[in-house]
Structure 1
Amino acid sequence: MVIRSLLTIQGTLHSLDEIRLWIENRNHSIQVAVDPVPFSSLDHWSQDEDGTLRHSSGRFFSIEGIRVETDYGSLSSWTQPIINQPEVGYLGILTKEFNGVLYFLMQAKIEPGNVNCVQISPTLQATKSNYSQIHKGKQPLYLDYFVNASPDQIILDQLQSEQGARFLRKRNRNIIIKVEEDVEEHDDFRWMTLGQIKELMRYDNMVNMDTRTVLSGLKISDYLSLADDTSRLSVFGKDLLLSSVTNHCHSTISEHLSWLSSLKSRYDLKVHPFPLRKMTDWRVLAGEISREDGKYFKVVGVKVTISNREVSSWCQPLIQPMQQGICAFIIKKINGVYHFMVQAKLECGNFDVIELAPTVQCLTGNIPSSRSARPPFLDLVLESSGSQVLYDTLQSEEGGRFYHEQNRNMLVEVDDSFPLELPERYRWMTLGQIYQFLRFNNYLNIQSRSLIAALNYLS
């Protein structure tokens, strides 16, 4: 079913042109307003003496200050605001078979921080506070399917992390279920095949981060059978399948686990509460919390009106980036098999100190002029061109917490002249090995999962 869904782009319930027109129409028909307001005017929010922003219900999330101490990297300590959202939310996709093809029920969802208003989202995208109706609004559509899902309906069920530099140990339940009964297709929802969703990931900011993290858990090769016609796969797609199933790996999974365990035990990560108003690098103003030097990000307050949401109007803080980022995997054929260069990256909000990140994951607004001070492999990625670049698209971060944040997502291939030897925090892994880590919680970070989801097996 999954393979047939991957291969089916034409002759579907809704064509790609119809889906794009539907997105465009939803953008025109749904009224959206996101207006900046001072923190004192955020309804149902208050600011403590130390600068912390909290919701009056004690739920949803808070913006708090932390002090970080670590022996990883060149900076041993710093202070910053962070999102504390201890709830585990749902990121769920409902699937159903039509004419022998598996379809995914996707939502045209507007989040206040989205670059382009409507993006293709999971069937259900809700925090516990949302689906518990703390906001006194309507219950999210299709919630009951996920709450009442039986084990035989579940295709995928994982707890996965969110952005470790912005959230404090935040996780969501990523779940895909399959149903047999008829499901109503509401105005903001459309059935799409996996192939169509992956095609739409070729467009800037079309498929949201939550969809990408859920779909990253689907290991395509697990669903391949002798009956499947793989002749329509591209050469690259067939190479990806080989990388998913091969035992011809540069290093074994046991060696990777030992490497990662060694790094996790070697580096310390201590995170302590710290008053926002006492941070020397940050300033707490009436309408923003920002750095004196204008770097990284700032916290702003907004009043939001979106006509088709469970609650049509509300106020909240958002994180606004000060620079665009870049996330890129470098891949290389080793003994005829594609290997991905993964990075062991420590971020202050990580649940377990270190997670596996793309080869390059950084901001691009304040890159040091000295090459020796720049992130490893960044220049190689930025200077790549032509057939080296297999994927290059702007992808948004989650618009419910981040305002107009997008990263350049890239997949760059290097040739045989590129050395096999890597710095200590980097490893070559096959796609199959990456999926072995993806089966479990808190191994692959959300930036790497976003890129894995975008891998396209068709021409």
Structure 2
Amino acid sequence: MHHISKQKEIELLFLKSALTTDNPFNTTKEVLDWVKRRNEEVDVSVKRIGFDEMDNWKLDKVRGAVVHSSNKFFSIQGLEVNTNYGERKTWDQPIINQPEIGYLGFITKEYKGTLYFLIQTKIEPGNVNHVQLSPTIQATKSNYTQVHGGKTPNYLEYFVNATSEEILVDQLQSEQGARFFKKRNRNIIIKVDKDVNALEDFKWLTLGQIKLLMQKDNIINMDTRTVISGISFGNYSSGTIGFYDIMNNNRNSIGFKLLTSALVHDKSLFSFNQIIYWITAQKVNYELSIKEKSLMNLKDWNVSENIIEHKENRFFKVIGVNVEIGNREVTSWHQPLVEPCDEGICAFIIKEIDGVIHFLVQAKLEAGNFDILEIAPTVQCSTVYSENENEQNKIPFLKDVLKAELENVVFDTLQSEEGGRFYKEQNRNIIIKMDDSFPNEVPENFTWLTLNQLKKFIVFNNYVNIQARSLISALSYIN
């Protein structure tokens, strides 16, 4: 009897769940209605208040930072950045400093051979639509050590007591490098055999359903997207996939081609080692020097009792808010939030090279990155640029994305960033498929990777940034 390895078994379980949208417990339509209903039922009020009106938070002018009275949670500090990367070589900016590592995790359970993920409707003050679908657990260390005096998050004990047999995915992953200073979260997926009761606000969904829901604006929150981006479906030779290809009459569908790119490990423009050398060379070429600086002294930023903002009204602002929520551990609180000045664009250009879809990635430097550069989507920018022709030309491939023909658009939705820190921040997430006329030769800080290679890099910390992971999580293999 031929036994497949434990790892292979897990990968196949994930794959089957990703290809399944039929759910005897909750249809996708029922889930959409549930989110809509929760949004209608919940009372959320977010009012702007001055920093001096916030309970437990203050703009400390001596320290030059916005801080919590417990010195926990997070703070907003100033940075002076110097680099030899990109157009701007030096700038000052505020940044969120949250040194603790939080949990973002899913409990999964197998039912009749299919893996189900326990998802919850969660309200965040900064969400565009208040309620979005979040992982089973989404907790900062301050949360689960109860700094705020609330109750411990539901299901926390499953993660704290998880055995190595139960853990299917366990990774440290970065957050937005332009907004957070070296922030990481533990992305974890566990599979339990004992009965798990789905509490109110929780439901069981397949991975395929989660991906389907991502094709709608602002339903699946950022934390769900980052956790599922780390799922691998395994490695197969192109010969094996070729065999399935003959069996599969749907082989011209984009879903099947993306799945092939995720599974095939022996057919790529560059070998894994060549990609490592490419990243290493980029990190050697580009320097990033960071100095802490008082918010009161940041160049090009205005700090008042009510707001911290850029003099040209660009990038983002820091505001204080009073939040009142109908059903959350703590029903009313104050906190700072980061508000974007524009909607951003995060886009991948993909094309078939030697019969396998490749993703055009860039090595992108951001002030808060753990290690100078991370692999980012082809285009990642704020839409300040999208109106102005000259500004558009400064960003490689932005025009290709904005002018893409409709039939080449594989994915195009608005996705929210983390609503616990960002106020109504949504980015347009786009994937565009180019034909053979699109050149393989690209600028030196860009390169082509298959999905299988991207998934391998996600396994290691701080290689693939959250914008790229968010797009990867949205890929559906069914259509």
Superposed pair shares fold, TM > 0.5: yes
SS in 2 for 1:428: strand
Partners of 1:7 and 1:372 in 2: CA distance = 38
Judged with a 3 Å threshold, the aligned counterparts in structure 2 of structure 1 residues 276 and 11 are, in CA distance, closer, same or farther, namely: closer
Partners of 1:230 and 1:183 in 2: CA distance = 36
**Residue 409 of structure 2 contacts residue 430 of structure 2 at CA under 8 Å; is this kept in 1?**
yes
Match in the other structure for 1:93: 106
Partners of 2:228 and 2:94 in 1: CA distance = 30
Deviation at 1:232, TM superposition (A): 7.2
Map 1:51-90 to 2 at 5 A: 51-90=64-103
Match in the other structure for 1:429: 449
TM-score by length of 1: 0.96
**Residue 236 of structure 2 contacts residue 265 of structure 2 at CA under 8 Å; is this kept in 1?**
no
**Residue 43 of structure 1 contacts residue 315 of structure 1 at CA under 8 Å; is this kept in 2?**
yes
Map 1:82-231 to 2 at 5 A: 82-221=95-234
Match in the other structure for 2:254: 236
Match in the other structure for 1:348: 367
Deviation at 1:235, TM superposition (A): 2.1
Unpaired stretches in structure 1, ≥5 consecutive residues: none
Match in the other structure for 2:384: 365
Match in the other structure for 1:383: 403
Identify the range of structure 1 (362-371 vs 197-206) with the bigger mean alpha-carbon deviation: 362-371
Match in the other structure for 1:5: 17
TM-score by length of 2: 0.92
Match in the other structure for 2:422: 402
Identify the range of structure 1 (439-448 vs 271-280) with the bigger mean alpha-carbon deviation: 271-280
**Residue 374 of structure 2 contacts residue 463 of structure 2 at CA under 8 Å; is this kept in 1?**
yes
SS in 2 for 1:437: helix
Partners of 1:292 and 1:194 in 2: CA distance = 44
Deviation at 1:99, TM superposition (A): 2.0
1:248-288 Cα deviation digits (max 9, x unpaired):
21111111101110111121101111111112311111211
Partners of 1:57 and 1:285 in 2: CA distance = 23
**Residue 360 of structure 2 contacts residue 378 of structure 2 at CA under 8 Å; is this kept in 1?**
yes
Match in the other structure for 1:454: 474
- Which letter maps to 1:6? A
Partners of 2:287 and 2:442 in 1: CA distance = 23
Identify the range of structure 1 (6-15 vs 87-96) with the bigger mean alpha-carbon deviation: 6-15
SS in 2 for 1:163: coil
Map 1:322-333 to 2 at 5 A: 322-333=341-352
Deviation at 1:438, TM superposition (A): 1.0
SS in 2 for 1:365: helix
Deviation at 1:410, TM superposition (A): 0.6
SS in 2 for 1:215: helix
Partners of 2:374 and 2:75 in 1: CA distance = 24
Identify the range of structure 1 (294-303 vs 275-284) with the bigger mean alpha-carbon deviation: 275-284
Judged with a 3 Å threshold, the aligned counterparts in structure 2 of structure 1 residues 458 and 233 are, in CA distance, closer, same or farther, namely: farther
Deviation at 1:223, TM superposition (A): 10
1:209-254 Cα deviation digits (max 9, x unpaired):
100000001123459999x997778722221232221412111111
Deviation at 1:44, TM superposition (A): 0.5
Identify the range of structure 1 (360-369 vs 207-216) with the bigger mean alpha-carbon deviation: 360-369
- Which letter maps to 1:444? V
Match in the other structure for 1:254: 273
Partners of 1:232 and 1:412 in 2: CA distance = 20
Deviation at 1:324, TM superposition (A): 0.7
- Which letter maps to 2:25? L
**Residue 2 of structure 1 contacts residue 223 of structure 1 at CA under 8 Å; is this kept in 2?**
no
SS in 2 for 1:220: coil
Decide which of 249, 265, 268 is 2:287's aligned counterpart.
268
- Which letter maps to 1:58? N
- Which letter maps to 1:350? N
Deviation at 1:49, TM superposition (A): 1.4
Judged with a 3 Å threshold, the aligned counterparts in structure 2 of structure 1 residues 262 and 11 are, in CA distance, closer, same or farther, namely: closer
Match in the other structure for 2:340: 321
Judged with a 3 Å threshold, the aligned counterparts in structure 2 of structure 1 residues 411 and 145 are, in CA distance, closer, same or farther, namely: same
**Residue 326 of structure 1 contacts residue 360 of structure 1 at CA under 8 Å; is this kept in 2?**
yes
- Which letter maps to 1:154? I
Partners of 1:58 and 1:147 in 2: CA distance = 24
Decide which of 24, 31, 48 is 1:19's aligned counterpart.
31
Unpaired stretches in structure 2, ≥5 consecutive residues: 1-12
Partners of 2:215 and 2:43 in 1: CA distance = 27
RMSD: 1.9
Judged with a 3 Å threshold, the aligned counterparts in structure 2 of structure 1 residues 110 and 35 are, in CA distance, closer, same or farther, namely: same
**Residue 233 of structure 1 contacts residue 458 of structure 1 at CA under 8 Å; is this kept in 2?**
no
- Which letter maps to 1:95? T
Match in the other structure for 2:331: 312
- Which letter maps to 2:109? K
Match in the other structure for 2:315: 296
**Residue 74 of structure 2 contacts residue 96 of structure 2 at CA under 8 Å; is this kept in 1?**
yes
SS in 2 for 1:4: helix
Deviation at 1:373, TM superposition (A): 4.4
Match in the other structure for 2:3: none
**Residue 346 of structure 1 contacts residue 354 of structure 1 at CA under 8 Å; is this kept in 2?**
yes
Deviation at 1:175, TM superposition (A): 0.2
Partners of 1:223 and 1:127 in 2: CA distance = 37
SS in 1 for 2:178: coil
- Which letter maps to 1:312? T
Partners of 1:47 and 1:286 in 2: CA distance = 8
Deviation at 1:31, TM superposition (A): 2.0
SS in 1 for 2:414: strand
